[in-house]
Structure 1
């Protein structure tokens, strides 16, 4: 953002010539991409390596509180990097069918594995008794739902009064008003950000 802001501000002599500004800006961004593209890959690999290390620890022992917090932060950071990386390749390939998160990466498998571990139920309190034996839990749960669904069914009756709401005259008039600048802006901002309105390659996300 700082590069774009500085370059755009330095082209004051081209005021009103948006297409010329975009041409010059494209050259600057290409140079930046050549210099910085490896930084993303390097940080991505560092995060993956650390997560892999913590996963190996979790297979042999319970992780410490600080390690769990670090793992949570790493997953969040990796998710941001993954979406950013996929967004770059989607724009480069010009393929609209590729959605963020569709790539079959090992990161998503690890995330599911970690989430499953955190959702594991080790015990349950039924009545005043705490149970942790799986066999006993299965019997208790089966008996609970069997008793619950074996109750006599009740016949319910309900009188429906369907008083539909009607639009007021002022609301009807608002539907026929010309579009405001705010509504137009909201419509443009809701467009697919990866679509480029012209052949120059600058998509709506950039603007």
Structure 2
């Protein structure tokens, strides 16, 4: 069935790109050429924006053909067969080594690509790139489809109606920000005790920031900006200046966080049969998502 649901062209950083020797030299100059901004958060956002555009262009130009791995295997086997009949020339030997090197790189890139999507933590990246990885990624992709939303006793399948129902529901429970008034000073809490350590409120050190990045899961899903921890770890020598400047500005409370403070609101589909779903919608007044609607949209 056709669908008119709009889909934005979201950017997702792929860890497999880091295994290609031409990726970082092609993308990092864009980070260094980002426009200047007075605010450190705006400067960091500008660097990410131009780098994201450069990564998209590189990915489009360096997309491997689908028959790359079979072709490399065929050439290697063909030259091995020729070697049994005669001695290979220097050009043939070099061609076989080039194919072996490219085949190894392609297999590593494909394994990293599917591991990032499968999210199966019990499998290590060094394992074989089997159909199990592909099945895990396919199942996750299919389970993320929400075909119907129930709210206030009604079932919505149209995209605009679902968007309106969800927006109204979450707006009603989030509320409006209020004002907080402190009737005491924090300094007076420790007036009669020994001076606490200043380490928790000391400025961030470069080693501390890098250690936090290294400790993060590099296969975790990227944030709204599209970049995950793997990008910052691999390009730390280039991006550390902007990151450290942002952390220092955050420490002294001199940064506009709204420039980079974005988040996704994710709905969890409810695995309920249609009959049970209709009963629950009559009893509950809250919104509920279903992925088993008889009329998928």
Specify the TM-score bucket, using the shorter chain as the normaliser: 0.3 to 0.5
Larger radius of gyration: 1
Of Structure 1 and Structure 2, which has the larger fraction of its residues in helix?
1
Query: TM-score normalized by structure 2?
Result: 0.34
- Structure with the bigger RCO (C-alpha within 8 Å, sep 6+) is 2
Query: TM-score normalized by structure 1?
Result: 0.45
